[in-house]
Each structure stands twice: as C-alpha cells, then as structure tokens.
C-alpha cells in the first residue's frame, strides 16, 4: 500500500507527473512549474498528501465521495465481485446479478414511474445516452423533427462532445467544435449575479419564461427535451428561486417537451432527499445519475427512465451502449454504497444534523466582509465574494482572480474549497459531523481573512464599475 513513508519523494513524483500526466481542465505547463499536490490516502473527510498534511475535503472529491473516504466494506464488495464475475457485457441477450439488483434498487428509490435504468460509465456518457434517447423517442413516435434540446448557459452536463454541447460552458464550447447543432441555451436562474433589482421570485419566473420563448421560437414540434440540473453545481452552486422549477414544469407539460433532470450532483442525498428533483418539485422523464451513485469509489453512471419513454425505446433496437454499461464490479460497489446509506440513515443525518450545522456555519461566514451571502441547498453551497455586499457587486479584477486567491489560501490552511469565478464552493461528504463542520468554518474564516488582507494590500477591494444596481433585498 502506498503511504507517506514508502513512495518516492514528493519532488520526484511531481517531476514524473509533469513529464507524463496530462491533467483535465488544467494548464499543464503552469502546473508543471508549480508541481501538483499529491494525495496519498484519505479517511472520512480528510485527505493526506505526500508531505503528511491532513486536508479537510469540503468538496467530497469532485462532489462525489458522499460516504466519505476509506469505507472498507466498499473494497470488500469490489474484491468479492472481481473474483466471482469481474466482467460480462449486457449486449448479447445476457445480464448479470449486480446489474439486475442495482437497476431494481434505483427503480425503487426513484420517484414516480422512473422504473428503468440504462447504465453508463460516467455522467458524460449518460447525458450522451439521454440526447440520443430523447431524439429516438420522438422519431419512434413519428416526429423525427422534434429533435432540438434546450439547456441553460453555464450548465454543466459533462465533457464529451454531446454532453459538453448540452452544457453551457463558453470556455468549453470554444475548443473542439462545440456545441453540436440542435442544442440551445437559455439564461440561467442565477439571481445573485444576474437578478439586478428584481426580486428572486420575479427573476425566477422570467428565467423560466425564457424557456417558453425559446420553444415558441423553435416551434414546439421541433423541441424534444429540456435539460437542467435541479441545482447547478459546477456553474457555481446556483440555487434557483422557488418560482423557477414549477414554471419550467408547467411550460414543458404544456408544449409536450420531455424533462431531463441532471442529478449527477444532486442525486443520492446531496440536497437532503434522494434526488434533487424531489427537493425542487420536478417531475422528470429521465434522470442522469453518476458521482454519488457509487460515492466515487467506482466509475458508474446511468439514466433512470420513465415507463413511457422506456416503452417506446423498447420497441426499437436502440443502437447505443458502452462496453462498461452496468459493469458488475461498479454495480456491486454502487449497491453497497446505497445499502450503507440506508443502513446508516444518511438522509436523516443530512436533514437533521449535517445540513443545519452547515447552514449555521455558512451564515456565520456570511458575516465576513468579503462574503456577499449564502447559496445553499442541503449539503451543496456557495459563498459569493464581493467588494460591496449591498449591491452584490463584482470585483474590478478579472472574474475568478479573487476566487483563485481565496482557494490558494484555503489550500494553505489545509482546506479544499473550490472556486467558480469569485464564488467559493462547498460540497462536503454527507457523513461530515458538526465537529468537522466547525473545523471547516475555522479554516474557511482564516482563508477569507488572509484573502481580505491580500486584497487590501494590493488595492483590489474595488467594485467593477458597470455594477451599480443595488438590490432592494441587499
Ligand atoms: C460531473 C457532472 C457530469 C459529468 O459526469 P462525469 O462522470 O464527469 O462524466 C454531468 N452532469 C453534472 C451535473 C455533473 O456535475
């Protein structure tokens, strides 16, 4: 087993990493100069790096390690399944027990008539499946031209060509010929950054009505589906105003447009329910799942599909699938994850213990002069940084400059808190205790103080000039 005592020295590992390892979403030449931080082990909510630092992971890896690190049951189940049946496919009129059991378990957990599961290896793959599935659904119903999909700006649905096109991330679209045709992006319900003088309620309604405008512009007979994260994650933990999703639901029903809820982050307890759709009152036709499905212990994703869509797809040969769809080891690991979540009443812990403690800690941090407010749903949250709380102003510096400074101070204080632009992002393992949340808050405050001191010293506590629309709500 790798440990801090038996691997190569940190500098040598960093040199090898720089020489051979291309990192995702990274300027590799800059990282090579700096040296990547090497994580060697983890337990509970703490990571250990190659220098022996213990770092509190307030991001649960990439929003996925809901159960926390180092659960030995997960490793045991994986080993047992590897010995019994490490792999078999589900293409050739064959199936296997972990795949059957996990599909049945997901059908039981999912709301309404979401009773059918198409497995994938990741969230990106699952959203590629969804794009093809909704188009095939309408084609099977004799409406092949009902093929356009509407998404939101700043949405994140994955990084493959299909899922990256569904997403609304401009820097991604600028590379590699995206978005592909037939995908449209409307405004996101980000009241904090874009709501100006409107109340959240009015702004939420206006954002939802942009969907109806787009449907009417394209023609309802051309629109297959709307896709959205119940709460946008990678876009900056954007919790939509309460008026938003009910209006989206109404509009989709009125125009016969399918709803795909991308539950890759929100699913499996993150917002305090099994699915974010339940928290937000959405009745989707398809839910995308990944990340928390296995708490990140094994790569697995999928689509949970309603009766109607599954029946129509079931009447044709759907020419789609992945070698690792329903991989037995990953399915067994996911099942064990769900079993532990239920045995330990993790949802109760989130609702009654962890989420209230996190909310209290965040409200405390919101009193810091740099923090403009709190966006939170269950165990996902963001703290927008601002030079001027009352107007929710942006900084004069390039977007993300201040967030990056703060993230670096977090790391220096042994805390992983990511930044999206100038928002600090929190999404800890769901098992986190109130004591650990108190440690999180202490380190976050120290990092915010250090950031504030830096900004002051460099005369960066200035607001961008165009931002002069104070909110009635402060
Ligand atoms: C992470 C993420 C994805 C992509 O999942 P991968 O497993 O990285 O392919 C899709 N949708 C959402 C909402 C995500 O957060």
User: 302 C-alpha vs ligand 1 centroid, how far in Å?
Assistant: 11
For residue 287, the CA-to-ligand 1 centroid distance in Å is 12
- Please answer whether residues 238 and 190 qualify as being in contact, where contact means their C-beta atoms are separated by less than 8 angstroms: yes
**Ligand 1, atom 11, residue with closest C-alpha:** 157
Burial 357-393 (b: 16+ CB within 10 A, else e): bbbebbeebeebebbbbbbbbbbbbbbbbbbbbebbb
What lies within 8 Å, CB to CB, of 239 at 6+ separation is 231, 375, 376, 377
What's the CA angle centered on 152, arms 422 and 199, to 5 degrees?
65
Residue 468 reports pLDDT greater than 70 = no
Instruction: Specify the ligand 1 atom closest to the Cα of 163.
Output: 10
What's the average model confidence in pLDDT over 19-37? 97
Final residue before a domain boundary, out of 343, 365, 380: 343
Give the H or E element holding residue 118.
strand 114-120
Q: In whole angstroms, how far apart are CA 359 and each of 147, 229, 354, 355, 415?
A: 41, 21, 9, 6, 18
pLDDT digits (tens, 9 = 90+) for 370-405: 999 999 999 999 999 999 999 999 999 999 999 999
Q: Please tell me the predicted confidence (pLDDT) of residue 466.
A: 63
DSSP sequence for 26-76: S-HHHHHHH----EEEEEBTEEEETT--EEEETTHHHHT-TT-B--HHHHH
Q: Which atom of ligand 1 is least distant from the CA of 265? A: 15
Distance 126 CA to ligand 1 centre (A): 9
The residue behind tokens 């928390």 is 292
Quick one: pLDDT band at residue 56, thresholds 50, 70, 90? very high
Please give the number of the atom of ligand 1 that sits closest to the Cα of 301.
Answer: 7
How far apart are the CA of 167 and the centre of ligand 1, in A?
10
Position 108 in a domain: yes
Residue 467 above 60 pLDDT?
A: no
Section 283-308 average pLDDT? 98
Q: Are residues 116 and 262 in the same domain?
A: yes
Mutate to test the pocket of ligand 1, among 155, 270, 290, 427 (most ligand atoms within 8 A of CB): 290
> pTM surpassing 0.95?
yes
* Any domain includes 94: yes
- In the predicted model, what is the mean pLDDT of residues 9-36? 97
At 3, is the pLDDT very low, low, confident or very high (cuts 50, 70, 90)? low
Which carries the bigger pLDDT value, residue 314 or residue 5? 314
Q: Would residue 14 count as lying in a domain?
A: no
Q: Is the pLDDT of residue 1 over 50?
A: no
Phi, psi (degrees; rounded to nearest 5) at 148: -80, 145
Q: Does the pLDDT of residue 274 top 70, yes or no?
A: yes
Examine residue 8 and state whether it is found in any structural domain, yes or no. Answer: no
Kindly state whether residues 193 and 308 are assigned to the same domain. Answer: yes
Enumerate the H helices of 141-227 as residue ranges.
161-166, 170-173, 191-194, 200-218
pLDDT of 429 = 98
Count of CB atoms situated within 10 Å of the CB of 314: 12
Residues 323 and 356 both lie in one domain: no
Residues 322 and 205 in one domain: yes
**What is the per-residue pLDDT across 218-265, written as a single tens digit (0 to 9) for each?**
999 999 999 999 999 999 999 999 999 999 999 999 999 999 999 999
Q: Confirm whether 359 is domain-assigned.
A: yes
**108: β partners:** none
- Asked if 411 and 316 sit in the same domain, the reply is no
Mutate to test the pocket of ligand 1, among 158, 167, 172, 238 (most ligand atoms within 8 A of CB): 158
Q: 228 C-alpha to center of ligand 1: Å? A: 12
Mutation test residue for ligand 1: of 25, 62, 122, the one with most atoms within 8 Å of CB: 122
- The count of structural domains within the chain is 2
Ligand 1 center to 459 CA (angstroms)? 38
- Supply 212's token pair: 């109806």
Domain assignment of residue 418, yes or no: yes
Tell how far the Cα of 8 is from the centroid of ligand 1, in angstroms.
33
User: What pLDDT does residue 7 have?
Assistant: 85
Task: Check whether 470 has a pLDDT greater than 60.
Answer: no
Structure tokens at 210: 């942009």
Residue 267, domain member (yes or no): yes
Same domain assignment for residues 58 and 137: no
> Is 150 strand, coil or helix?
strand
Atom of ligand 1 nearest to the CA of 291: 7
% of the chain beyond a pLDDT of 90: 96
Judgement on whether residues 45 and 126 belong to the same structural domain of the protein: no
Given the CA of residue 122, which atom of ligand 1 is nearest to it? 7
Looking at residue 465, its pLDDT comes to 78
Distance 157 CA to ligand 1 centre (A): 5
Closest residue CA from atom 10 of ligand 1? 157
CB 438 within 8 A of CB 361: yes
Q: Measured from the CA of 229, which atom of ligand 1 is nearest?
A: 13
Same structural domain for residues 438 and 327? Answer: no
**Residue whose entry in the numeric block shows the structure tokens 């994650």:** 233
In the chain, DSSP finds a helix count (H) and a strand count (E) of: 18, 15
Q: Are residues 223 and 313 in the same domain?
A: yes
How much is the pLDDT for 21?
97
Q: Is 80 exceeded by the pLDDT of residue 128? A: yes
Residues spanned by the domain of 62 = 37-70+345-457
For the residues 146-167, what does the mean pLDDT come to?
98
> Which of the residue ranges 239-253, 309-323, 458-472 would you say has the lowest mean pLDDT?
458-472
Does residue 208 sit in the same domain as residue 296? yes
* Residues in the ligand 1 pocket, defined by CB under 6 Å: 122-124, 127, 156-158, 229, 233-234, 262, 264-265, 290-291, 301
300, 326, 343 - which closes a domain: 343
- For residue 433, is it within any domain? yes
Are residues 333 and 373 both part of a single domain? no
Integer Cα distance of 40 and 61 in angstroms: 13
The CB-side HSE value for 83 (13 A sphere, CA atoms) comes to: 5
Position with higher pLDDT, 470 vs 343: 343
Distant-in-sequence, close-in-space partners of 130: CB < 8 Å, separation ≥ 6: 225, 227, 260, 286, 288, 303
CATH number for the domain spanning 391: value is: 3.90.1150.10
Task: Report the CATH number at residue 217.
Answer: 3.40.640.10
41 lies in the same domain as 81: no
pLDDT at 282 over 80: yes
462 CA → ligand 1 middle, Å: 35
Distance 142 CA to ligand 1 centre (A): 31
- Out of 322, 343, 364, pick the residue that ends a domain: 343
């Amino acid at each position: 087993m790798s440990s801090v005592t038996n691997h190569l020295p940190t500098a040598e590992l960093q040199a090898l990493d720089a020489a051979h390892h291309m990192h995702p979403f990274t300027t590799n030449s800059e990282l090579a100069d700096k040296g990547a931080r090497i994580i060697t082990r983890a337990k509970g909510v703490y990571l250990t790096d190659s220098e022996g630092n213990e770092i509190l992971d307030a991001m649960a890896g990439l929003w996925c390690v809901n159960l926390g690190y180092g659960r030995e049951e997960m490793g045991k189940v994986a080993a047992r399944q590897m010995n019994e049946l490490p792999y078999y496919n589900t293409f050739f009129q064959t199936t296997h027990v972990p795949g059957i059991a996990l599909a049945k378990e997901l059908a039981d957990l999912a709301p309404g008539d979401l009773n059918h599961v198409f497995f994938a290896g990741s969230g990106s793959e699952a959203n590629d499946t969804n794009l093809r599935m909704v188009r095939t659904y309408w084609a099977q119903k004799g409406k092949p031209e009902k093929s356009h999909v509407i998404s939101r700006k700043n949405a994140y649905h994955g990084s493959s060509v299909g899922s990256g096109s569904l997403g609304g991330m401009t820097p991604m679209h600028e590379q590699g010929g995206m978005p592909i045709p037939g995908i449209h992006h409307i405004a996101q319900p980000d009241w904090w950054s874009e709501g100006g003088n409107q109340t959240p309620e009015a702004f939420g309604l206006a954002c939802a009505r942009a969907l109806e405008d787009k449907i009417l512009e394209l023609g309802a007979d051309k629109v297959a589906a709307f896709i959205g994260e119940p709460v946008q994650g990678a876009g900056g933990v954007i919790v939509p105003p309460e008026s938003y999703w009910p209006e989206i639901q109404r509009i989709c029903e009125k125009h016969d447009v399918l709803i795909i809820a991308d539950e890759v982050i929100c699913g499996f307890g993150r917002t305090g329910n099994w699915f974010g759709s339940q928290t937000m009152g959405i009745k989707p036709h398809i839910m995308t799942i990944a990340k928390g499905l296995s708490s990140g212990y094994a790569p697995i994703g999928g689509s949970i599909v309603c009766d109607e869509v599954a029946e129509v797809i079931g009447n044709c040969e759907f020419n789609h699938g992945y070698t690792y769809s329903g991989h037995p080891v990953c399915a067994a690991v996911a099942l064990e994850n769900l079993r532990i979540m239920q045995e330990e009443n993790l949802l109760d812990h989130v609702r009654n213990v962890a989420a209230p403690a996190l909310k209290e800690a965040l409200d405390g941090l919101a009193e810091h002069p740099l923090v403009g407010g709190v966006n939170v749903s269950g165990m996902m949250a963001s703290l927008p940084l601002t030079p001027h709380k009352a107007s929710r102003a942006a900084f004069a510096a390039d977007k993300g400059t201040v967030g990056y400074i703060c993230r670096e101070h977090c790391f220096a204080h042994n805390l992983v808190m990511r930044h999206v632009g100038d928002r600090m992002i929190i999404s800890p393992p769901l098992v986190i205790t109130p004591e650990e949340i108190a440690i999180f808050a202490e380190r976050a405050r120290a990092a915010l103080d250090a950031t504030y001191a830096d900004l002051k010293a460099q005369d960066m506590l200035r607001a961008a000039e165009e931002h002069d629309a104070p909110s009635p709500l402060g």
